């Protein structure tokens, strides 16, 4: 029997994992031997199934026929290096093997290793070694990372096959190891591409919500897959406000907003589509997943999806919670304002939680206080222009209608070309040998150059002294952490060159100094603030907490938390809205206890946050009367 492969993709925060898990439970309940595996660096399969999973195929409790695995990037990397180097250890001197292994410690190896592990699941039948999983799965479901990262992952087999071919014709070396050692990987990747293109075997399900950025992201992703000759798509439209909430002004407004986007989805994305309502609680646990699956596959009504039991929240409990979750804005201002020198603000968090809105709100507010502010994004799926309501290009430019505010986006593909040209031109000017330049060019043609180049561009902005505040709308958490770890990894790379005979000590020292200065800035709470954005639900809180702790291992403290999409207490007027508000209050308390930093709350509005007028109005409300304090120090 031929295995079926189902990929869940879409903009971060739209509910991919929930929909993927519900689908996996459904397939297993129907008797199919089913595996769900995640390629997301910030996985939360274990949170949804409420049991440990990890980097091994694990049986899911209470669901016969269902197994799961979370690919761990670190373990996958070590496994990949061990497999690639095993045949070489006996054939080459230890010193040469050590150089090869050090070369493979670069930042791109982790991504390729995760993809290599992912490809294994496209080549079933296979055994896991413990005898428990079946030799062959009927259905393999991939819960993928947010769209931009996913597309890069899927592009890798094409890119790496080309890189391996070029290396074979040249030095025999690539940045993921010797070409001879990874020749089999090339064939694996080619087979993977054929499987992805086979519409009878592979389906891509895009999860989206009825909102502009989600629709735009889905269209873009479908177009990018089309360039790779992948065309079998379906949709799940998630988060639809129930019709019964028409009596609640907040949710009635959002439902009206959604109606236009639902019509747009039907018109612009004519694909097989399932519809999923917003629930009054989280999607966690097998029982809840089964109910969601009923709605997805059988069209159950909204009422059928409500919790079987609902414990009313007393007024005393609400008052006690409120006392724990209120943070005066006076505690937040010092984390945002320059303090005698420039300040850099990083907004990070799980995809789709509202980082772009939070960063735009903050940048607009700071600019209105008189600070010369630069707003930029390193996210491959940039939405700054959509939120600002103004075009944002690859060059720094003033935002029309917003004095003191400039904006730009870092396009990884564009900056990679500039980065490669700069390095090769410098090599030629230094009179490096033709052979060495050719080896450098082979290295620079590898897919990881885009990420390195994006970070290099980030370094340039962060090193400039003409801005009083720089606000970064960063990529989703896993990607962001890898981006921040790059300078440390890349500095190691500078010590071990394939072209070691070339004298690059001076250039390496300059690069290390630049990286070191920016890392020092990131670690200094007086000069930078890392703000984690989340909505008050379990999954984004856990993911942000993990990321915060990992930043801590780099000695980078978390300075602020932004709780987004918070239902105002006065808007909780129906059973549905009260249930969601009560859930949020519980998690707002948890946010404060976990992070122990000031918490800024952004309310859920009946409409999208778009345009300078709305950004200015909302920023004034959430930051309250900070103008007087801010203005006192604006010319520092």
**Ordered structural domains, the chain, with CATH:** 4-238+282-304 (3.40.50.300), 323-413+465-496+511-632 (3.40.50.300)
Task: Tell me which range, 71-80, 160-169, 261-270, is most confidently predicted by mean pLDDT.
Answer: 261-270
Q: How far apart are CA 509 and CA 264, in angstroms?
A: 54
Average pLDDT over all residues of the chain: 79
- What mean pLDDT comes out for the span 439-463? 73
- What mean pLDDT comes out for the span 166-174? 55
- What mean pLDDT comes out for the span 171-192? 61
Q: What is the pTM of this model?
A: 0.79
Nearest to 527 by CA among 484, 486, 557, 489: 557
Examine the pLDDT at 487 and tell me if it is beyond 70: no
Report pLDDT for 503. 41
Report pLDDT for 164. 58
Examine the pLDDT at 182 and tell me if it is beyond 90: no
Give residue for tokens 């690539």: 174
Report pLDDT for 536. 93
Q: What is the dihedral of CA 225, 231, 236, 238, to 10 degrees?
A: 20
Examine the pLDDT at 231 and tell me if it is beyond 70: yes
Report pLDDT for 257. 94
Examine the pLDDT at 633 and tell me if it is beyond 80: no
- What mean pLDDT comes out for the span 183-203? 81
Q: How far apart are CA 234 and CA 253, in angstroms?
A: 28
More reliable by pLDDT, 413 or 485: 413
- What mean pLDDT comes out for the span 542-563? 88
Least confident of 143-152, 375-384, 427-436: 143-152
Q: Buried (b) or exposed (e) across 70-99, using 16+ Cβ within 10 A?
A: bbbbeebbeebbebbbeebeeeeeeeeeeb
Nearest to 235 by CA among 266, 202, 199: 266
Question: What band does 34 get if pLDDT is binned at 50, 70 and 90?
Answer: very high
The two tokens of residue 359 are: 């960063």
Contacts of 292 (CB under 8 A, 6+ apart): 18, 19, 22, 276, 279, 283, 305
The two tokens of residue 516 are: 């070191």
More reliable by pLDDT, 242 or 425: 242
More reliable by pLDDT, 505 or 291: 291
Task: Tell me which range, 256-260, 390-394, 420-424, 547-551, is most confidently predicted by mean pLDDT.
Answer: 256-260
Q: Read off the pLDDT of residues 274-319 as tens digits, 9 standing for 90 and up.
A: 999 999 888 989 999 999 999 999 875 443 333 333 334 444 344 3
Nearest to 379 by CA among 370, 392, 397: 392
Q: Read off the pLDDT of residues 40-95 as tens digits, 9 standing for 90 and up.
A: 766 788 989 999 998 899 999 999 999 999 988 778 888 888 877 777 777 777 77
Report pLDDT for 107. 53
Rounded to 5 degrees, φ, ψ at 66 are -120, 130
Examine the pLDDT at 584 and tell me if it is beyond 70: yes
Examine the pLDDT at 421 and tell me if it is beyond 60: yes
Cβ–Cβ < 8 Å for 238, 208: yes
Question: What band does 330 get if pLDDT is binned at 50, 70 and 90?
Answer: confident
Question: What band does 519 get if pLDDT is binned at 50, 70 and 90?
Answer: confident
Question: What band does 146 get if pLDDT is binned at 50, 70 and 90?
Answer: very low
The two tokens of residue 339 are: 């303090």
Beta strands 139-143; 34-38: pairing state: parallel
Report pLDDT for 591. 94
Pinpoint the alpha helices (H) of 90-132.
Answer: 94-103, 107-120
Task: Tell me which range, 22-31, 34-43, 129-138, is most confidently predicted by mean pLDDT.
Answer: 22-31
Report pLDDT for 122. 81
Examine the pLDDT at 321 and tell me if it is beyond 80: no
Least confident of 106-115, 298-307, 368-377: 298-307
Cβ–Cβ < 8 Å for 254, 510: no
Examine the pLDDT at 102 and tell me if it is beyond 70: no
Percent of the chain at pLDDT exceeding 70: 73
Task: Tell me which range, 262-271, 456-465, 506-515, is most confidently predicted by mean pLDDT.
Answer: 262-271
Percent of the chain at pLDDT exceeding 90: 40
Question: What band does 126 get if pLDDT is binned at 50, 70 and 90?
Answer: very low
More reliable by pLDDT, 601 or 381: 601
CB atoms within 10 A of CB 106: 22
Q: What is the dihedral of CA 199, 204, 210, 216, to 10 degrees?
A: -90
Report pLDDT for 634. 42
Report pLDDT for 129. 42
Task: Tell me which range, 311-315, 368-372, 537-541, is most confidently predicted by mean pLDDT.
Answer: 368-372
Report pLDDT for 483. 55
- What mean pLDDT comes out for the span 340-358? 88
- What mean pLDDT comes out for the span 533-552? 87
Question: What band does 322 get if pLDDT is binned at 50, 70 and 90?
Answer: very low
Report pLDDT for 160. 57
Examine the pLDDT at 416 and tell me if it is beyond 80: yes
Examine the pLDDT at 211 and tell me if it is beyond 60: yes
Beta strands 405-409; 397-398: pairing state: antiparallel
CB atoms within 10 A of CB 228: 15
């Amino acid at each position: 029997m031929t295995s079926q492969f189902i990929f869940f993709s879409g903009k971060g925060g739209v509910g991919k994992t929930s929909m993927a898990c519900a689908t996996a439970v459904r397939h297993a309940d129907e008797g199919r031997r089913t595996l769900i595996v995640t390629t997301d660096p910030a996985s939360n399969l274990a949170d949804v199934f409420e049991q440990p999973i990890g980097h091994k195929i694990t049986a899911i409790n209470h669901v016969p026929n269902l197994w799961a695995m979370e690919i761990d990037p670190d373990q996958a990397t070590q496994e990949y290096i061990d497999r690639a180097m095993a045949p070489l250890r006996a054939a080459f001197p230890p010193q040469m093997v050590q150089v090869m292994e050090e070369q493979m410690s670069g930042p791109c190896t982790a991504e390729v290793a995760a993809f290599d592990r992912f490809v294994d699941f496209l080549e079933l039948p296979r055994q896991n070694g413990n005898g428990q999983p079946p030799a062959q799965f009927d259905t393999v479901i991939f819960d993928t990372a947010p769209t931009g990262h996913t597309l890069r992952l899927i592009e890798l087999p094409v890119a790496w096959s080309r890189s391996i071919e070029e290396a074979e014709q040249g030095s025999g070396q690539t940045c993921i190891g010797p070409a001879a050692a990874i020749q089999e990987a090339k064939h694996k990747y080619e087979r993977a591409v054929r499987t992805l293109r086979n519409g009878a075997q592979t389906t891509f399900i895009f999860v989206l919500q009825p909102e502009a950025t989600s629709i735009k992201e889905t269209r873009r992703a479908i177009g990018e897959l089309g360039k790779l000759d992948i065309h079998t798509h379906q949709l799940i439209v998630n988060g639809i406000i129930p019709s019964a909430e028409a009596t609640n002004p907040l949710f009635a407004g959002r439902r009206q907003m959604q109606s236009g986007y639902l019509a747009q989805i039907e018109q612009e994305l004519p694909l097989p589509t399932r519809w999923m309502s917003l629930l009054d609680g989280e999607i966690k646990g097998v029982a809840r997943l089964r109910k969601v699956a009923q709605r997805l596959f059988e069209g159950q009504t909204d009422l059928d999806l409500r919790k079987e039991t609902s414990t009313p929240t007393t007024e005393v409990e609400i008052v006690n919670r409120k006392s724990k979750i209120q943070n005066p804005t006076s505690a937040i201002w010092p984390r945002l304002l320059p303090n005698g020198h420039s300040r850099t603000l990083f907004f990070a968090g799980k995809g789709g939680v509202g980082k772009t809105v939070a960063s735009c709100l903050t940048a607009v507010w700071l600019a209105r206080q008189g600070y010369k502010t630069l707003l930029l994004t390193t996210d491959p799926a940039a939405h700054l222009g959509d939120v600002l309501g103004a075009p944002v290009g690859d060059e720094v430019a003033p935002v029309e209608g917003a004095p003191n505010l400039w904006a730009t986006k870092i396009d990884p593909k564009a900056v990679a070309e500039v980065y490669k040209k700069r390095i090769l031109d410098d090599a030629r000017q230094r009179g490096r040998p033709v052979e060495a330049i050719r080896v450098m060019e082979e290295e620079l043609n590898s897919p990881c150059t885009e990420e390195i180049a994006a970070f290099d561009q980030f370094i340039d902005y962060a090193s400039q002294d003409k801005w009083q505040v720089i606000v970064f709308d960063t990529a989703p958490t896993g990607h962001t952490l890898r981006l921040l770890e790059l300078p440390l990894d890349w500095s190691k790379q500078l010590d071990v060159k394939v072209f070691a005979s070339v004298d690059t000590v001076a250039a390496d020292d300059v690069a290390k100094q630049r990286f070191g200065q920016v890392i020092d800035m990131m670690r200094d709470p007086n000069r930078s603030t890392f703000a984690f954005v989340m909505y008050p639900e379990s999954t984004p809180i856990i993911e942000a907490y993990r990321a915060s702790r990992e930043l801590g291992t780099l000695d980078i403290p978390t300075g602020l938390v932004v709780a987004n999409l918070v239902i105002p207490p006065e808007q909780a007027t129906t059973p549905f809205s009260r249930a969601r508000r009560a859930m949020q209050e519980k998690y707002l308390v948890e946010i404060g206890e976990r992070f122990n930093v000031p918490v800024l709350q952004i309310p859920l509005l009946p409409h999208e946050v778009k345009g300078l007028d709305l950004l200015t109005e909302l920023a004034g409300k959430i930051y309250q009367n900070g103008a007087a304090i801010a203005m006192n120090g604006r010319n520092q």
